[in-house]
Amino acid sequence: MACSYLCPCSLLICSLLAFLVSGSPIQRALLPVISFDEGYTQLFGDDNLAIHRDGKTVHLSLDERTGSGFASQDLYLHGYFSASIKLPADYTAGVVVAFYMSNGDIFETNHDEIDFEFLGNIRGKDWRIQTNIYGNGSTSVGREERYSLWFDPSDDFHQYSILWTDSQITFYVDNVPIREFKRTESMGGDFPSKPMSLYATIWDGSGWATNGGKYRVNYKYAPYVTEFSDLVLHGCAVDPIEQFPKCDNTESSEAIPTGVTTVQRIKMESFRAKFMTYSYCYDRVRYKVPPSECVINPKEADRLKSFDPVTFGGGRRHHGKRHHRSRAGHVEAISI
Ligand SMILES: *[C@@H]1O[C@H](CO)[C@@H](O)[C@H](O)[C@H]1NC(C)=O
């Protein structure tokens, strides 16, 4: 991590911040990682999905023909879901890599969704990462946030994780919580509350991803390859309709977070103050009145004004990544 990124101030504060942001090393060995065949199933992309010899690392690629993706075999109600991801390098404008939870194939009009999305880049520019949440079909209210990162996510694997409980959702990059989304009463059904599967996909988001579609996918640079490893599904698998638990026990591990600690909260605030570039809460074009859970901080509002707001072009909704499994088991790509 480049210290100068974080803090142009004294060395002492600088190294303290460096420690706070980078956190303790990832305890990968303690995480309950299962092989691809045990926990996942290919969604689309035929041989653009390849499983590494270790059975635990998956290569997903995008070329002129198709993207690719996989999903967990089971649906989960709450839990901790994680992957180490290495993104495609160099020119990746328009390329979208998504790591997310959804139940859109079962609940077509009132689905839930929790997203990590990587929105391509133009050579020389940082990757942008986006998080978003939908509950019970609340697709008219996007709750996107976007961030830059303190490292180049195409250089190496980094861990991206979602902790989902019935009262909050926390997004982590490595061990740093970057967003905490708390359930409120006024949110109603907008908080994800039905079982979801975990998905990983790479797809052509030309019309949307990079600066609102300004930069399209250039297949001269294909194939675009992303790698997923150390996949963690730590939750109770449930039947999506009956919501009947199918697991005997979910062994706990110290490597699984249960929420944001005081020390982590300082890291989170430091991350958000430095790296957040967009929050729906401050988007007056989309929301004359911010959604009820938003707590407006004038300093944050001021800072966010300096970033390019075009990516959403007034709140256009994207559907490109919705590669749903139909009940017959074959893959349907739904694009609008
Ligand atoms: C979710 O949506 C369904 C169908 O639109 C509705 O019947 C139900 O009341 C909603 N649930 C919540 C918690 O809002």
CATH topology of domain 27-325: Jelly Rolls (2.60.120)
Residue 43 and residue 323 in contact, taking contact as beta carbons nearer than 8 Å: yes
- Cβ(107) to ligand 1 under 6 A? no
Task: Using pLDDT thresholds of 50, 70 and 90, give the confidence band for residue 207.
Answer: confident
Given a cut of 50, is residue 19 above it in pLDDT? no
Query: Which residue's CA lies nearest to atom 5 of ligand 1?
Result: 110
Least confident residue range of 22-36, 80-94, 96-110, 116-130: 22-36
- Ligand 1 pocket residue status of 259, Cβ below 6 Å: no
Does the annotation count 251 as an active-site position? no
Nearest Cα residue to atom 11 of ligand 1:
189
Tell how far the Cα of 77 is from the centroid of ligand 1, in angstroms: 17
Look at residues 109, 110, 112, 181 and name the one whose alpha carbon lies nearest to residue 144.
Answer: 181
Ligand 1 centre from 7 Cα, in Å? 46
pLDDT at 247: 67
113, 144, 145, 227: the catalytic one is 113
Cβ(188) – ligand 1 distance below 6 Å: yes
Maximum CA pair distance of the chain? Answer: 61
Mean pLDDT for 134-155 is 94
Q: Over range 84-109, report the average pLDDT.
A: 94
Residues written for the chain: 336
pLDDT score of 86 = 97
| Distance of CA 141 from the midpoint of ligand 1 (Å) | 15
Q: How far is CA 233 from CA 38, 71, 76, 147, 309, in A?
A: 11, 11, 9, 25, 35
* Residue whose CA is at the smallest distance from ligand 1 atom 9: 189
pTM for the model stands at: 0.84
CA 283 / ligand 1 centre spacing (Å): 27
In degrees and rounded to multiples of 5, residue 226 shows phi and psi of -120, 150
* pLDDT in the model for residue 315: 36
Q: pLDDT for 20-64, tens place per residue?
A: 444 444 455 577 888 999 999 999 999 999 999 999 999 999 999
- As a whole number, the mean pLDDT across the chain is 83
Q: Which atom of ligand 1 is nearest to the CA of 193?
A: 13
pLDDT, residue 242, reads 81
* Section 135-139 average pLDDT: 94
Point out the catalytic residue in the list 38, 117, 227, 300.
Answer: 117
Atom of ligand 1 nearest to the CA of 136: 1
| High-pLDDT (> 70) share of the chain, % | 79
**What would the mean pLDDT of 201-225 be, rounded to a whole number?**
87
| Residue % of the chain over a pLDDT of 90 | 63
Task: Give the separation between CA 111 and CA 193, rounded to whole angstroms.
Answer: 9
Round to whole Å and give the CA distance between 211 and 335.
20
Q: Is 314 in the pocket of ligand 1 (CB under 6 A)?
A: no
d(CA 270, CA 266) in angstroms, rounded, equals: 6
113 among known catalytic residues = yes
Q: In angstroms, what is the span from residue 135 Cα to ligand 1's centroid?
A: 9
What is the number of the ligand 1 atom nearest to the C-alpha of 137? Answer: 2
Q: 228-254 pLDDT, tens per residue?
A: 999 999 988 988 778 777 765 566 777
The pick from 136, 185, 193, 243 for probing ligand 1's pocket by mutation, whose C-beta has the most ligand atoms within 8 angstroms, reads 136
Taking CA atoms only, the protein residue closest to ligand 1 atom 1 is 136
